[in-house]
Amino acid sequence: MAACLTVQAFYLQLQTNRSLTELSAQLSQAVDAETEDIQKLCDTLKSEFLLSEINPKISKALQLHLQHIEHFDEETRVAVRSSAIGEDGEELSAAGQMDTILGVKGYNEIFAAVKKCWSSHFTFSAVQYKRQHGQPINTGMGVVIQKMVHADVAGALFTNDPVTASCNTMVINANFGVGESVVSGEAEPDTFRVTYTSDQGGSDIFSIEERVCGSKQVQYVVSESGTVGKQSVSGSSVFCADDKTVLALCQIGLELERRFGHPCDIEWAICQGQIYLLQSRPITTLTQETEYELLHEFDSALAMDQELLSTMNIGEAFPGALCPLTISVVVKQIEDSMVNWSVANGLNVVPNLFRLHKVYCNHAFLNVHAYELSNKYRSSLADRRMMELALAGHVIDSMTDEVIRAYHPARPLLTRLYCSWRFFSMILGKREKCLVHEQALDKLTVPLTTSCAELLEYVNHTVDISSQVVKDYMPATAISPVYSQVLMGILTKGKHVWEAKHYTDLASLLACHINEVFSAGVPNKLEELSRLIHSHPAFAAHFLEISIESGDSFLNSKKTPAGVREAYQLFMEKFGHRGLCELDLLKKCWSQDPSQLIETLQMMVKSIATGHNVDARCYSVQEVVDGLQCDLTKGQKLFIKFILPKAKKAVNSREEVKSILVKAASKMKLGFWRLSELMYNQGYLPSPELLFFLTVTEIKDVLSNRNGSLVNRAKRRRKIYEKQNSMQFPRFNHGYPEAVDTQQDLKSLEVETELKGMPVSVGEVTGTARVVKNLSEAHTIQKNDILIVYFTDVGWAPYFPMISGVVTEQGGLVSHGAVVAREYGIPCVVSCHNATQVFQSGDTICLNGSTGVVRRLKRDNDL
C-alpha cells in the first residue's frame, strides 16, 4: 500500500505560509552570500517548516486517501519518503540528502513526518548540491507514504556495475534488517557480483561470479512494537541472502531495466521470503568520463601517424592549455577561415579532413604538413623556407618537397600559376574590410539586460562579427611575408643556400626606422603615460603606494591631474582591448581587469624615478642599406630602398589588423563574461568561471534545460585544466605529442653555456639575464636586464623600454617580440630552444643579435 503527495501539495504549503514564501525566496536569491549566512537561512527555513501547521486541504485529502487503503489503520507502521524534483534522475542524484522517516504510526505522526520531509528540501547539504549543479533551489517535492516492510534482509541492486560500468554485470549489497544500514554506508554489507548473458533462444542466463561476506556489524531492525532501531552486533560470517534469492533479485532487476529503458539502482527488502521493491532510480555514474577521457576530450584526429605538429607561432597566440569555450569558438573560427582560404586559393582537399590546426590535451598545435602544403600549392612563387622562418624562426630541414608530396600530390605548374594570381587578387582590399569590421565592433555594447536568452543572442551576434574579422584577417596579413621573401631573394641573389649573413641583413632591414609599427604603440604610449605620472612627484609617490586593485579608480578620480587622467582614459580607450593571452576567452583584457596594467605602470614609473630606462637608436633606410653584409649591386640596393617602405607598411598593416582581431576577441570576452555572471546570479552555474569550461552548444543546453550533468562536466574539466595547463610539449612532434618532464631534462642542460637561435633584431649586448617563466614574475625585471622568456605577446610590451635585449624560445621573424624589439632597437634572438632552462636569473650573458648566439659568461653563484 502507498499514498503519494504531489509537488502541488508542497507548493500549497509554501503559499499558505508567508514566512515560508519569503524565506524560500531569500534563499533562492542568496547567490553571493557567505556560506555561514546560507547555512543560517537554511536552518531558519527548515525550522519554520517544522513549526508550520500543515494546510487543512492537504491533511484532509491525505487522511481520506489513507482511510480507503486496505489494511491501513491508526496502528499501521509506515515509511514516509521524500521525492524531490530532480533528486533521482539520469543526470543527477541527490540520494540520501532528503529525509526518510521509518516506523511512523497514526495521522499526527504522518503529518509531522511529511513536514519533516518537506523541510529536508532546504537542508544546507541539499541546497548546496543544487547550487553546485546549477539547479533551482525551490524545485518542489513529492512525498510517498509506504507501509513498512518488516524486512529480514534488505539492500540495493545495481543492474550495471556502478564502478566499471559493465552492462552485463549486476552488483548487490545486502544486510540483515531494513536497508538503512546499506544505503547510509554504516555497515559493511555482503556483496554479490552476477554476470548475465542470453542463450540462442533469448533466455537470460545468470551466474554469480563473486561473493564477498561483509562484517555486517551495524543493523537496523524493526522491533515488536513496529519502531526501527539501530543495533551493533559482533559481525556475521553467514551470508544474509542465498544464491536463489540473489538470482531472483537479478531477474527482477533486469525486467525493471528493460521497462524503464535505463540501468537501475533499486532498493529492495525481503520479508518472510517475499521480495518487495521500495524504489528505483537511474544509475548516474555510468556515463561519467574518466580522467583520461577528459584530458583528451577535444583532441583532433590525425591524417597520418607521422603528421608533424608544432607549437611554433601558435604558442604565442595560445600559450598553455585552452578552455573549451575558446576551442569551440576562437580556434574553430581560425581553423575554418584558414581551410576556406586555402580551398579558395585552389587547394583541392576535403575541408572536414584537412586541418591546419590540431588540439591535443587542450593545447593548440600547427599542423606543419598542412601549412607547408597550403603555402606551396596555392602559389608557384612561395618559398616554404620563408614561411618556416616567419613561423618557426628557422628552416625545418626535415620538411622537404618529397615529404610534402607524400602528404598531398604535386600540382601542375599552370595550376599553381593560376593559384598565385588568385592569391594576390584575393588579398586586395581585405585590410579595408577589417577596418569596416572594426567600426561594427566599436558599435557593440553589452546590453543591460537580466535575460540570459537576450544576452546569449547578443553574444552570438558578436561571435558572427568576429568570424567575419577572422575570415578577412588571414588574407589581409598574407602580403607581409611576400615582401620578406622578395627582400631575402635580393640578399641571396636567388641562390638556394641561405647563410647567416642573409638572416642578419634581413633582420637589419626590417629594423630600420620608417614609421612606427602599430604594436609598438602600446609600450610607447605606456612609457609616455608613466613619464607624465612621474612629472607630478607628489601624485607619483601616492600612485606607487596604492594597491593595483584600486589603481584604476585612482587614475580616474578627480584628484588625479587632468592631463594624467585624460592620457590614461585615452590609452584605455585605444588599447583597453589588449592584454595577456589575448585570444583566450578565459583571460580578461585590460579594460576588464586593469590591475595587471596598473602593476606595469607602477613598475615603469619607479623605473623612471631610478633612471632605469633604455634609449633606442633608430637607423634610417640609407644607414641600414650601407651596413649590409651582403655584396649587392647599386641596382639591387636601389630596389631594396624602393621595396623596404612597402615591406614596413605591410608589417604595420599586419599588426593593425591583428589589433582588430584582438578587439573582436575582447568583445566576445565582454559578452561571455557578462553572460557568465548573469547565469551565476540566476543559479544556472555555481561560479561564473565555469561558463568557459562549456562549449557554445552546451551553454545553450544549460540555459534551456538546466542540464546538471553538463555543469558537473564543466567542474571536472576545470579541475583537469590545471593538469593540462602544466603540461609542456616539444616544439616539434611526429604524431600525437608527448608531454615532457622539464625537471628531468634540466640536469642535462645545466652544463650548456651557449645556445643558438634566429637573429631577428641586430646588435650585441652583455648584461644580466632575467629568466621570467610567466608574466606574474615580471616585477623581478631590473634595469637593463636581458629578458629570457618562453614567448612574448602584447602583455610583455610595456617592459621593452626597460630591457637591453630579448631571448625567446618561441617565435619567428614576424613574432611579437621580434617586431617590438626591432622598433626599440634592442638585440633579439628568437627560437632559442631551452633558454629558460639553460640560463638562470643573475647569470652574466652575451646576446648577439647578429649571429643568434646567446652565451653565458658567468653563473650568478660562481665565486
Could you give the 3-state DSSP secondary structure of residue 320?
Answer: coil
For position 417, what pLDDT does the model report?
73
Mean pLDDT score of the chain, rounded to an integer? Answer: 84
Give the sheet arrangement for strand 844-848, strand by strand.
Answer: 754-756, 853-858, 844-848, 764-771, 786-789, 805-808, 828-830, 758-761
User: In the chain, pLDDT over 90 holds for what percent of residues?
Assistant: 35
Helices (H) and strands (E) in the chain, counts: 32, 24
Q: For the segment 645-676, what is each residue's pLDDT rounded down to a tens digit?
A: 888 888 888 888 989 999 999 999 999 999 99
DSSP letter (8 states) at residue 356 = S
The predicted structure's pLDDT at residue 301 = 87
Type of residue at 577: H
pLDDT band at 723 (very low <50, low <70, confident <90, very high): very high
Distance separating alpha carbons of residues 366 and 551, to the nearest angstrom? 39
156 vs 175: CA distance, rounded Å: 10
Q: Cα separation of 589 and 593, whole Å?
A: 6
Q: Give the other-Cβ count within 10 Å of 554's Cβ.
A: 17
For the four alpha carbons of 798, 800, 806 and 810, in that order, the dihedral sign comes to: positive
Grid cell for residue 674: 557578462
Burial class (CB in 10 A: 0-12, 13-18, 19+), 136: middle
For residues 613 and 687, which has the higher predicted lDDT (pLDDT)?
687
| Phi and psi torsions of 631, nearest 5° | -85, 105
State yes or no: pLDDT of 612 exceeds 50.
Answer: no
pLDDT value at residue 619: 67
Tens digits of per-residue pLDDT, 762-800?
A: 888 999 999 998 877 887 888 789 999 988 877 777 788
420 in Cβ contact with 380 (< 8 Å) = yes
- The pLDDT tens digits of the residues spanning 96-145 come to 678 888 888 889 999 999 999 998 888 887 887 777 777 777 788 889 99
